[in-house]
């Protein structure tokens, strides 16, 4: 191999964040997942405030504890007699009314950790103790099996890191747009034959071959991409979900996508900032739903939110909220059974100023493994839960 090609291979690893498929030593045998569609994981990075997302608008304690941040009752989108959505979630009302949107209440875990780094690690690995630091929960669910077809990655990350996908057998591709990926991959020339490459170089060549094969598959798929029926908002999450929709409309059946909305660490001046973030998220998800419904693919998608923690119940002196514990998460999709799941945490029975969790977050993951990936109770147990399914899917 010529020096120039060695440098190309090294640059390839930097240019294309790609985890080549290998059997993770930490992962015990797992049943092969029966892929029924695509999971779209939406990471609300920073710790989303669940109380100003789903508002207990009839509880006077909410107004007392949040004198400047409480959303006025007449502005809340009433979803039942006790809970309502933030006004910024208006674009998702059609999904709620159609039964496509489920809210899982009081999601958390025992002995919550308020460190961003450690709590994200806990959510990524489905391990609240120190027993597992890797692989991520999705990598562990798949075990030694990849989920994607030949020439396609098992997962595509369009925002944030690959924490839930890391350390297992999955081929994970990070990109901004498929066109950029294809264009960058085309710049690489074919490597010269190598009789006995070093182990590291062999890995780079494996990655290079996988990237080239995926680029060819993407290029073929993009050539038959239909016109987009819906305009997406020009926001970071809007752009990410647009690319997810385009890959799905192009016929690329990729088991997992991950997108991210940053900025939820709202210690200061939360009110308008949080509303803006929720509005951007809701508008992007509404466009995503309309696009896939128009294409007849909405039943093949399950959107699930995650966030490392909720916020404290009481506002702070800076008209913001500090790191808390439990919060609501949502599931969205054509086969989702909409409604509320779990029990609303009480504002009158707090855990040192935090909402007590009612649903262990591993039950959300267990629901995905049990039903969406067809792994049954054994799949849920691999992710640390033997509790019954929640039933939203």
Beta bridge partners of 260: 43
pLDDT value at residue 190: 54
What is the model's pLDDT at position 158?
97
Q: What are phi and psi of 182, to 5 degrees?
A: -65, -40
- What is the pLDDT at residue 6? 43
Domains and CATH numbers, the chain: 3-382 (3.40.720)
Which pLDDT belongs to residue 15? 47
Q: In whole angstroms, what is the distance from residue 317 CA to residue 69 CA?
A: 11
Name the residue among 157, 277, 292, 158 with its Cα closest to residue 232: 292
Reading phi first (left if > 0) and then psi (alpha if -120 to 50, else beta), residue 12 is in: alpha
**DSSP codes, 20-36:** -----TT----PPP---
Dihedral sign, Cα of residue 258, residue 300, residue 389, residue 154: negative
Q: What is the pTM of this model?
A: 0.91
Q: Which residues of the chain have pLDDT under 50?
A: 1-15, 20-27, 196
């Amino acid at each position: 191999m010529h020096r120039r090609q060695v440098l190309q291979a090294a640059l390839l690893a930097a240019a294309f964040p790609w985890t080549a498929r290998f059997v993770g030593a930490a992962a015990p045998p797992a049943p092969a997942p029966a892929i029924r569609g695509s999971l779209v994981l939406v990471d609300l990075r920073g710790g989303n405030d669940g109380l100003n997302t789903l508002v207990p608008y009839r509880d006077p304690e909410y107004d007392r504890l949040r004198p400047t941040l409480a959303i006025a009752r007449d502005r809340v989108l009433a979803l039942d007699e006790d809970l309502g959505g933030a006004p910024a979630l208006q674009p998702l009302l059609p999904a709620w009314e159609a039964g496509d949107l489920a809210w899982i209440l009081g999601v958390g875990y025992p002995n919550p950790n308020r460190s961003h780094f450690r709590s994200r690690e806990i959510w990524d690995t489905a391990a609240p103790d120190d027993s597992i630091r890797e692989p991520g929960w999705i990598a562990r669910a798949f075990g030694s099996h990849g989920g994607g077809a030949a020439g396609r990655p098992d997962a595509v990350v369009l925002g944030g890191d690959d924490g839930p996908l890391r350390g297992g057998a999955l081929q994970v591709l990070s990109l901004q747009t498929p066109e950029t990926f294809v264009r960058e991959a085309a710049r690489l020339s074919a490597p010269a034959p190598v009789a006995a490459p070093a182990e590291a170089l062999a890995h780079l060549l494996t990655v290079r071959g996988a990237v080239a094969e995926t680029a060819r598959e993407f290029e073929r798929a993009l050539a038959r991409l239909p016109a987009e029926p819906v305009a997406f908002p020009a926001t970071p999450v809007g752009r990410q979900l647009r690319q997810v929709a385009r890959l799905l409309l192009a016929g690329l059946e990729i088991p997992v996508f991950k997108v991210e909305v940053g900025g939820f660490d709202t210690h200061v001046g939360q009110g308008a900032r949080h509303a803006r973030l929720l509005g951007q998220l809701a508008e992007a998800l509404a466009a995503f739903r309309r696009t896939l419904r128009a294409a007849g693919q909405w039943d093949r998608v399950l959107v699930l939110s995650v966030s490392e923690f909720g916020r404290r119940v009481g506002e702070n002196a800076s008209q913001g909220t500090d790191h808390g514990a439990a919060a609501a998460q949502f599931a969205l999709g054509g086969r989702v059974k909409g409604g509320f799941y779990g029990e609303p945490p009480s504002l009158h029975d707090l855990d040192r100023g935090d909402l007590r969790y009612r649903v262990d977050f591993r039950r959300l993951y267990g629901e995905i493994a049990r039903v969406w990936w067809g792994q049954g109770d054994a799949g849920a147990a691999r992710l640390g839960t033997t509790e019954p399914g929640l039933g939203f899917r």
